[in-house]
Structure 1
Amino acid sequence: MSRRTKLYLIGIILVFILTLTACNKNVSADNDEKYESEKIKETEIQNKDSIKLQFENENFTVHSFDKDKECIEDLAKALDENYDAITNNLSVSLKDKVKVTIYPNIKSFHNNIGMQNAGDWLVGVAWRNEIYMVSPLNPGSQHTYDSLMKVIVHEFVHVVQFNIYPYRYPNRWMTDGLATYAAKQIPDKTIMKDLIDAGKNPSLSDMNSKDFEKVNGYDFSYTVVEYLVKEYGYETIVAMIETPKKMYEILGKSLDEFENDWINYLKENWGS
């Protein structure tokens, strides 16, 4: 083969290689462009599903992502079924609609309320005229779809309480006890009996401390309010909420006398 022929063949091979490389670059560029396009479309789809108004009636507005729409009818029903009883018992007439915002999961909820380290038990909060809670479709490890239907009523009671006393209330056993009682979050009778019989019922002071959850504060504060409703009625409870510094004066008893009476009620009705 002559030197001229060899150079000719080498030239053809180089042209082929360069052409192939260019094609590969074009394919790669096409793939990159396609990938970026798909990413943009995916982001657009995600952005389209944002929290928006999904339901409204004369008392409430409910806001959520579209994917949580299917639980809103049940939430609205739970609120409507309890609205009159709660507002009438507590002698409150709400001027504005209560705004409910539903978050799709525990993490999103905790992030949005600024409590990133909270446990899964925290699925709802209320402030002034607004309720924030986790979607019943994704309630986390400590709750169920059905329990969230009571949580929203619990939080609504807090909204009503804010309308009676618009500040941080000094007695948690009253605020959460009333919300738990009115939402019919009834304690487990067997668990309560075992705790009471073992002398593990908390004091009122325990239920007004940072250990509220640890001492089963929700369950035992329920019984405090149950006792108040049966012995004194809602009118007295409203007066106690309106003027917390005079609550024992309103009852006509000292703190110790009231606590002893509640403990006796607790043992007789929830213990052995």
Structure 2
Amino acid sequence: MKKILIIVFILFIIMVIQSLPIIILKDIGMKKIHGNYVNVYYDKGDDKGGRIVFKELENSAKEIGNKLNYKFDSKIVIYVYKNQSLLHIRKYGLATLAIAPDWYIGDNKGSVVLMVSPQANVKGHNIKSIMSAAKHELVHVINYRINPNLSYFIDNGVATYLSKQSPYKNFIQYNRIPSIEFLEIKDELKFGNAGGYQYSYTFIEFLDKKYGWESVFELIKGNKFYVEIFSKTKQEIYNEWVKYLKEYY
């Protein structure tokens, strides 16, 4: 019985150590910049990175808020970590260090943005790409505040579209056009591997160009069905999008 209790205690300690970084997002010694729309926390010694993030996301928050007709009842909190390892453990805990991909530079937890510093040395990324990803996560947060049940496909489509992460031409030659069921996908890994970010961008682009942004916004809010917004069924909209893909991509 004593051995069992010791094992249980050790497992409990391991679980606590694994989980603490997920719960406590703020590093010791982090500094803070207050804004009208965002509050940025950044690691000690990363003043330049913190200022870059604040300047760009404070302006982006206002711009995106206007686009999504969102009134800020509270500021968006942004945590900026000076390296990828500190960011990784905030998402899934210490175990993440063994499996986290190199490309992982930002995320959101509900209404909070997590990102690596634009001053960090990240393979395959620079200040521009890191800040583009940060803007993407900012859109996710505002989407979440508007509609926490927004589909993964639409959420990412709006985030990529408003952060101007446009896909390269002819990308559909290398990624099979997804079925209509893909619009309701919930698996992040399958979504990314199937070119979900590119396809979701083009879906929002298509809707905006053909039906206008007000219709896209109605879709984001999630209070109406496709036929109520577009006067067409979801299948009809999907068919039009596929035709658009083949014509322009």
Whether TM-score is above 0.5 comes out as yes
Tell me the number of residue pairs that the alignment of Structure 1 and Structure 2 aligns. Answer: 216
Q: Which amino acid aligns with 2:40?
A: V
1:149 maps to 131
Matched, 1:238 2:214: no
Matched, 1:78 2:60: no
Matched, 1:222 2:201: yes
Calculate the TM-score normalised by the size of structure 1. Answer: 0.72
SS in 1 for 2:46: helix
Matched, 1:96 2:78: no
Q: Deviations over 1:10-61 (max 9, x none)?
A: xxxxxxxxxxxxxxxxxxxxxxxxxxxxxxxxxxxxxxx8342332221111
SS in 2 for 1:101: strand
| 1:149 to partner: Cα distance | 0.9
Question: Which structure 2 residues correspond to residues 192-271 of structure 1 after superposition, within 5 A?
Answer: 193=170, 195-197=171-173, 200-206=176-182, 208-210=185-187, 211-243=190-222, 246-270=225-249
Unaligned runs of 5+ in 2: 1-26
Task: Tell me, yes or no, if the aligned pair for 1:103 and 1:135 is still in contact at 8 Å.
Answer: yes
| 1:125 to partner: Cα distance | 1.6
SS in 2 for 1:268: helix
Task: Tell me, yes or no, if the aligned pair for 2:36 and 2:58 is still in contact at 8 Å.
Answer: no
1:39 maps to none
SS in 1 for 2:45: helix
Aligned partners of 2:68 and 2:126: how far apart in 1?
Answer: 28
SS in 2 for 1:213: helix
Aligned partners of 1:245 and 1:124: how far apart in 2?
Answer: 31
Question: Which structure 2 residues correspond to residues 26-105 of structure 1 after superposition, within 5 A?
Answer: 50-105=28-83
Q: Deviations over 1:56-87 (max 9, x none)?
A: 22111111112222112222222133233311
Aligned partners of 2:197 and 2:130: how far apart in 1?
Answer: 15
Bigger radius of gyration among the two: 1
Task: Tell me, yes or no, if the aligned pair for 2:52 and 2:118 is still in contact at 8 Å.
Answer: no
Q: Which amino acid aligns with 1:145?
A: I
Aligned partners of 1:96 and 1:54: how far apart in 2?
Answer: 16
Task: Tell me, yes or no, if the aligned pair for 1:123 and 1:139 is still in contact at 8 Å.
Answer: no
Alignment CA distance shift 1:109-1:199 (3 Å): closer
Aligned partners of 1:174 and 1:139: how far apart in 2?
Answer: 31
Aligned partners of 2:202 and 2:175: how far apart in 1?
Answer: 16
Task: Tell me, yes or no, if the aligned pair for 2:180 and 2:235 is still in contact at 8 Å.
Answer: no
Alignment CA distance shift 1:206-1:243 (3 Å): closer
| 1:154 to partner: Cα distance | 0.8
Q: Which amino acid aligns with 2:35?
A: N
1:14 maps to none
| 1:151 to partner: Cα distance | 1.2
Matched, 1:161 2:140: no
Task: Tell me, yes or no, if the aligned pair for 1:127 and 1:162 is still in contact at 8 Å.
Answer: no
Task: Tell me, yes or no, if the aligned pair for 1:90 and 1:234 is still in contact at 8 Å.
Answer: no
SS in 2 for 1:201: coil
Calculate the TM-score normalised by the size of structure 2. Answer: 0.78
Aligned partners of 2:149 and 2:155: how far apart in 1?
Answer: 10
Question: Which structure 2 residues correspond to residues 120-199 of structure 1 after superposition, within 5 A?
Answer: 120-138=102-120, 140-165=122-147, 167-169=148-150, 171-189=151-169, 193=170, 195-197=171-173
| 1:113 to partner: Cα distance | 1.5
Unaligned runs of 5+ in 1: 1-48
Aligned partners of 2:174 and 2:51: how far apart in 1?
Answer: 43
SS in 2 for 1:141: coil
Alignment CA distance shift 1:109-1:197 (3 Å): closer
Aligned partners of 1:125 and 1:151: how far apart in 2?
Answer: 8
1:44 maps to none
Q: Which amino acid aligns with 1:183?
A: S
